[in-house]
Amino acid sequence: MTALRPTWDQLPAPLREGLATRLGTIVDARTQTGGFTPGLAARLVTKTGESIFVKGIPADHPLADRYRCEAATVGALPTSVPAPALRWTDDIAGWVVLAFDDIPGHHADLSPNSPDVARVVTAVAGLAHTLTPAPITAPRAQVELAQLVHGWAVLAQDPPDDLAGWPRRHLHALAELESTWLNVADGDTMLHGDLRPDNFLLTDQATWIIDWAQPCVGAAWIDLVDLVPHLILGGHPPADAEQAIAVPLSCLGVDPRVVTGYAAAFAGYWARVSRLPAPPGVPRLRAFQARAAQAACAWTAHRTGWI
């Protein structure tokens, strides 16, 4: 868990009362771990025994628009997309609140030999078909990701003292490499944009994809390739992590040099943002991003052969 989420008892009384008005008497509330936002995320059980997943954040919080975006996105998804149904969204007592069908599953285990790996890869590969053409209007990946997924060129302007080893030796080459994928990022597939283990819920019957707050429209290969550094974080060597997505990726026709550039950009993004001050309520985010930067650097080193 990277975010410090409020428990049910810590929520403002008007919010709890408003939720009880919408849902009925709440007899149990279980705060959910995981995620990077400090808002409400809880399974609420009513006196009828029904369980609903509710998430929310103060309406004046900088991330409130992401919650609104998620509500609009999930509401527009085709029913063939394995995303929990949005029951309703509302502003309650100054909070943006979303209520979903509760899925009693577990987050993905991406460690070697986990059966979850194949299920997650299959689910993400399926998005390339069900979300092409994009069912919503969203920012273009070529523009949106260009503003976000980079970092080496910034760090090269004033290299931090703690940047050492492999990235320090190849800093200027990485700065040149990290933008080489952008000219083929365009496409007409809706992308999830934030695929990581805690954005999957697996049950015996299905692999569900959650947290649709950062959609964009672009090339179908991007969501699939996004899994690689998380597989490395899960314990896979880079070659094995790439092998896990090799079959569906081969169907998308992406140039291997593009993937190498994207790997460098992802590593640069995490190397850059991990050095920023921690946002309020998410004290462990930067440590996670530092580990992710190491994983993405290992991925990039594998692809480039740079020692």
Residue 237: pLDDT above 50? yes
SS3 content of the chain, % helix, strand, coil (to 5): 45, 15, 40
SS3 89: strand
Q: Which of 245, 289, 266, 297 is nearest to 180 (CA)?
A: 266
Q: Do 141 and 52 fall into the same domain? A: no
Q: Do 92 and 191 fall into the same domain? A: no
Task: Point out the domain boundary residue: 53, 76, 101.
Answer: 101
Q: Do 193 and 287 fall into the same domain? A: yes
What is the distance between the alpha carbons of residues 242 and 142, in angstroms, rounded to a whole number? 23
Q: Do 123 and 197 fall into the same domain? A: yes
Task: Point out the domain boundary residue: 67, 101, 135.
Answer: 101
What is the distance between the alpha carbons of residues 40 and 19, in angstroms, rounded to a whole number? 12
Q: How far apart are the first and last CA of the chain?
A: 34
pLDDT at 37: 75
Q: Do 52 and 185 fall into the same domain? A: no
Q: Do 196 and 87 fall into the same domain? A: no
Q: At what angle do helices 238-250 and 285-304 cross, to 10 degrees?
A: 80
The set of residues, in sequence order, having a beta carbon less than 8 Å from that of 67 and lying 6+ positions away, is: 39, 55, 56, 57, 96, 98, 213
Q: Do 67 and 199 fall into the same domain? A: no
Q: Do 120 and 67 fall into the same domain? A: no
Q: Do 12 and 37 fall into the same domain? A: yes
The answer to whether position 130 is within a domain reads yes
pLDDT at 283: 83
The answer to whether position 2 is within a domain reads no
Residue 192: pLDDT above 70? yes
The arithmetic mean of pLDDT across residues 211-231, rounded, is 98
- The lowest-confidence range among 31-35, 255-259, 273-277 is 31-35
Q: Do 13 and 132 fall into the same domain? A: no
Q: Identify the CATH number of the domain in which residue 258 sits.
A: 3.90.1200.10
pLDDT tens digits, one per residue of 71-85: 999 999 999 999 999
Confidence of residue 201 (pLDDT cuts 50, 70, 90): very high
Task: Point out the domain boundary residue: 101, 119, 138.
Answer: 101
The answer to whether position 170 is within a domain reads yes
Distance of CA 177 to the CA centre of its chain: 24
Q: Do 153 and 295 fall into the same domain? A: yes
Proportion of the chain above pLDDT 70, given as a percent? 98
The answer to whether position 194 is within a domain reads yes
The answer to whether position 3 is within a domain reads no
Distance of CA 207 to the CA centre of its chain: 15
pLDDT at 1: 45
Q: Identify the CATH number of the domain in which residue 34 sits.
A: 3.30.200.20
pLDDT tens digits, one per residue of 78-123: 999 999 999 999 999 999 999 999 999 999 999 999 999 999 999 9
The answer to whether position 200 is within a domain reads yes
Range of 24's domain? 8-101
pLDDT at 284: 87
Cis peptide before 277 (omega within 30 of 0): no
Mean pLDDT over the full length of the chain: 95
The answer to whether position 1 is within a domain reads no
Confidence of residue 266 (pLDDT cuts 50, 70, 90): very high
The answer to whether position 218 is within a domain reads yes
The arithmetic mean of pLDDT across residues 200-225, rounded, is 97
Residue 158: pLDDT above 60? yes
Residue 228: pLDDT above 90? yes
The domain tally of the chain equals 2
The arithmetic mean of pLDDT across residues 251-262, rounded, is 96
Residue 35: pLDDT above 80? no
What is the distance between the alpha carbons of residues 64 and 88, in angstroms, rounded to a whole number? 16
pLDDT at 4: 77
Yes or no: say if 68 and 97 are a contact pair by the CB < 8 Å rule: no
Residue 208: pLDDT above 60? yes
Query: What CA dihedral angle connects 173, 224, 99 and 76, to 10 degrees?
Result: 110
Residue 282: pLDDT above 90? no
Residue 236: pLDDT above 90? yes
Q: Do 149 and 296 fall into the same domain? A: yes
pLDDT tens digits, one per residue of 120-141: 999 999 999 999 999 999 999 9
Confidence of residue 258 (pLDDT cuts 50, 70, 90): very high
